[in-house]
Amino acid sequence: MQIIASAGSGKTEVVSQRVADLLAEGVRPEAIVAFTFTERAAAELKERIEARVTARLGRDALDRLNGLFVGTIHSYCFRLLQQHVPKYETYDVLDENQLAAFVSREARRLNVRQFDPRSRLFASIRTFLRSVEVVDNELLDLDDLPEDFRIVLENYYATLARYRLLTYGQQVRAAVEELQRPDVASRVHEALRFLIVDEYQDVNPAQEELIRLLTGPGTELCVVGDDDQAIYQWRGSDVNNIVTFASRYEPVTTFEITMNRRSRPEIIEAANEFAQSIPNRLAKEMNPTRPSEGSSPRVVVWGEEDEVTEAGWITNLVLDLKEAGVPFRDIGILVRSRAAYGRLLEQFGTFEVPVQPGGRTGLFDQPEAIVLAKTYCWLSDIDWREPFQYGEPVELDPLLEEYATVFELRGRPHENRVKKVLKEWRAHSVRTDRSADLVGDVYELLDVLEVRDWDFDDPVRLNAVGTLARFTSLLADYESVRRRARLDAEVRGEQVGGEWGGEWYYKNLAIHMVNYAQGEYEGFDGEPDLAIDAVDITTVHRAKGLEWPAVFIPSLTANRFPSFRTGQRQDWLVPRALFNAARYEGSDADERRLFYVAATRARDWVSVSRHDRVTRNLVRSSPYWDELEDLHIEPNDIVLPPIETQSDGAEDTLAVTFSEMASFLDCGLAYRLRTLVGFQPRLAPELGYGKAVHHLLRRVAEHTQENGAAPTNDELDGMLDAHFFLPTANKVGHRKMKDAARRLIGNYVENHEADLHRVWETERPFELHLDGVTVSGRADVILDKEGGVPTGLAIVDYKTSTDGDTTPHELQLQVYADAGQREGLDVRAAYLHDLNGTRDSIAVDASSIESAEEIVHDAAARMRNRDFEPSPGASCRTCEVRTICKASVR
């Protein structure tokens, strides 16, 4: 089935209705998989599905949705690999920033510098990773590649495997390879009956092959998309997938949904006319459902003499909209690239127009990030260099003056305390007998800077706090790959630790900040649950799937929109004969689709503007601006039409994991700083110990089920050699913790072997649906035949250690038991099993479940109301964010 859903036609509603229809027909939730393009889209679709299921089947039906998959293709592939291919259970996934830091670490061993004519490290890394992305996206055969690239690529893949790491591209490629194995394909298809792919126009060849492999005689495929909104070719997506779908998946039933429920007729008419200029598109035309209202133009196209004046007019119009009753949050300003941000932000700042924090600036546009980065340059004697500038050495006294300005230090004594900390850092940075603790060091510096005394509810201060949190993410990314351990190729069952400090640990960090992070890390996005009345300024790519009553599309010049880079021939390490390089390099058709997406974000009014010059030189207008000449108007003549403000609507269901709720219950302020603002934890050597033990217990249970007997001591030793991996432990630490894990698991097998024969399911996901809140989690193991009853189940949660307070664990088990009972499972018991000895029974009777639900309801209400009350006490001593918390016990 193919559904062509035009812009504003309610595509998410179509998909949610399709899923609800299937469930109403009796299809089991685990038989349905729905792919979305982003995690945000997945959350929106899941909430819409739940609303439609409730309306169609009643509130109780939500309790039986467990097993329904709604998420990105990447997350599905990772789940598939971890469920069906044991070696992937201990793998982690690198994001793009972590991957760049990882390749920087391995650059010498991989010899990637050969791929840049001037042997520049980060230029060669960018060239290499762009070409690797092509290999993964296009599923190219490595034997077809040039020898120099192929040798490095093979070493690169092997290196990632030694470190037990995957990239985004590898997740899909590996899933495709595994699905070609009959045993894996059989297990996956055993349950799968309906595959739904949203935003199908944006899939790449590897994802298309995955979809083909998941589709079969017993699986119905439904794709939903719009070729006019295909805007990710530069990432490898191929619009031909949707254009040629009907000829490749016969027989196909095609539906067109062209009724636009979003925009006014005048906007739809202009968008339809512009869409005719997009070549090789599926023929269609949007039709309006909303009426025309008023006589003022709904689409205005205008120009000004220079960029500053254009930004000034936009600012005036924004203020006029506000005066007319349109909230700032109902206004979107969509740009082709961040080059257009500068003048707009200057004008908005001058006239105090509030701006949403997310997506408009890079991390290093913020003074707090710059002064911290300069600090690492000073520590390492590396020149600080801003983009397109010459590097300069960082001296301590000017650096301290910058600290005094940025952090508003209170006089010389305060400045001297900062100076003392920085000198201690510098002394420690060259020592080889001391492990680096980058995130921990920043927390100690923030203590001296007295960030804890800031008002976190002040928007300006919150943005600064968020910047500091984003900086800890940069440090955590760097540390996570620099400290990453790898399998010891010489000794089975052992691992080799990563880097833990020393002079070059800090030098490489400074080099990474100057040459990579400065241009790639985005700034603070704001707290996800905090709605503020502010204008959205964002790129068109980030605006996909969003809408605003009023939309501005500025900087329609020949070099900005379309981008001057469009169609430029790029250097690839992959021969152009092996793939469609032009697809990645962009075309006018791609830019036209992007402009179409921008224009169709508007509900009531859209402004398209340009400027004649940026400085002194004249710039040509965009051809898209020229093609809208019949809508041209002078800025002075613009009269705003009536604009309907967006209703906040019904209150969304709060969706949280149990871990998040437990963190909130422990301390509201710590939860806010860590989960919402984004401060990262320190990297501990024992990181991943509990996860590794849980993984081994799962392997032991599966072995027992498959063989009818618990593993022998030799088999246990073999399991630990093959599967016990700690991401950041060195050889000695790994040995010690491996021995400890062997004792724990050996004792469990010896004392609880009967449990291993009763394992009903491991790592079982649960979702508890209560009014206004959904709590998700994953139970370690479920045992059957509880109390001698064939249907009786018991949930067991394993802990490698407890601090004596079992209250959070009790609530966790009661939440899972509640979810299981609502799902229809005969959950009769729950146990908290401390692997060091004791097993405690947790009450899951009706009264205990009711009390647990009250706790969840109360916590959800406080979270929704942003009641982040701190809980000072003994736990403050081990809290990561205690140095930035005003209430912490010192």
- The CA distances from residue 304 to 314, 348, 788, in Å, are 11, 18, 81
Provide mean pLDDT across the span 805-823: 92
The tens digit of pLDDT for each residue in 379-430 reads 999 999 988 788 899 999 999 999 999 999 888 889 899 999 999 999 999 8
Q: Are 64 and 28 within 8 A, CB to CB? A: no
- From residue 19, give the alpha-carbon distance in Å to each of 39, 141, 154, 215, 222: 18, 37, 42, 17, 11
Q: What is the pLDDT of residues 320-337, one digit of tens each?
A: 999 999 999 999 999 998
pLDDT digits (tens, 9 = 90+) for 128-161: 999 999 999 999 999 999 999 999 999 999 999 9
Q: Give CATH superfamily name and number for 2-87+170-257.
A: P-loop containing nucleotide triphosphate hydrolases (3.40.50.300)
Rounded to an integer, the average pLDDT of 188-198 is 95
pTM, 2 dp: 0.92
351-367 pLDDT per residue, tens:
999 988 765 678 998 99
Q: What pLDDT is stored for residue 651 in this prediction?
A: 66
Within 13 Å of residue 802, how many CA atoms lie on the same side as its CB? 19
Give the CATH number of domain 654-884; options: 1.10.260, 3.90.320, 2.60.40, 1.10.3470. Answer: 3.90.320
Are the beta carbons of 888 and 457 closer than 8 angstroms?
no
Q: How far is CA 576 from CA 115, 152, 570, 587, 755, in A?
A: 16, 19, 10, 16, 58
Closest-CA residue to 555 (of 311, 232, 275, 297)? 311
What is the separation, in whole angstroms, between the first and last Cα of the chain? 62
Please, are residues 582 and 644 in contact by the beta-carbon 8 Å criterion? Answer: no
Closest residue by Cα to residue 88 from 184, 182, 191, 224: 184
For 202-241, write each residue's pLDDT tens digit: 999 999 999 999 998 889 999 999 999 999 998 889 999 9
- Residue 358's pLDDT is 65
Q: Which CATH architecture has domain 276-356+532-637?
A: 3-Layer(aba) Sandwich (3.40)
DSSP for 669-725, please give it.
Answer: HHHIIIIII-PPPP--TTTTHHHHHHHHHHHHHHHHHHHSSPPPHHHHHHHHHHH--
Domains 276-356+532-637 and 654-884 fall in the same CATH topology:
no
> What is the C-alpha separation between 544 and 232, in angstroms, rounded?
11
| Token output for 54 | 């409730």
Q: Work out the percent of the chain whose per-residue pLDDT is above 90.
A: 80
* Cβ-proximal residues to 493 (8 Å cutoff; 6+ apart), any chain: 717, 720, 721, 722, 724, 738
Q: Note the pLDDT tens digit of each residue in 233-291.
A: 988 899 999 999 988 988 899 999 999 999 999 999 999 999 999 999 999 999 999 99
Tell me the DSSP string of 620-662: PBPHHHHTTGGGB--GGG--PPP-PPPP--SPPPEEEEHHHHH
The pLDDT of residue 650: 54
Summarize pLDDT for 80-97 with one digit per residue, the tens. 999 999 889 889 999 999
Question: How far apart are alpha carbons 537 and 767 in whole angstroms?
Answer: 36
| 574 within 8 A of 253, measured Cβ to Cβ | no
Q: Using an 8 Å Cβ cutoff, are 520 and 98 in contact?
A: no
User: Which pLDDT score is estimated for 688?
Assistant: 87
Report domain extents, the chain: 2-87+170-257, 92-163, 276-356+532-637, 363-519, 654-884
Which of 686 and 552 is assigned the larger pLDDT? 552
User: Is residue 301 within 8 Å of 336, Cβ to Cβ?
Assistant: no
- pLDDT digit string (tens) for 11-41? 888 899 999 999 999 999 999 999 998 898 9
Q: Bridge partners of 829?
A: 794
Which two structure tokens, joined as six digits, stand for 493?
A: 């069952």
- Render pLDDT for 569-599 as a digit per residue (tens, 0 to 9): 999 999 999 999 999 999 999 999 999 999 9
Residue 430 burial (CB count, 10 A): 15
Using pLDDT thresholds of 50, 70 and 90, give the confidence band for residue 686: confident
Q: What is the rounded distance in angstroms from the CA atom of residue 175 to the CA atom of residue 214?
A: 10
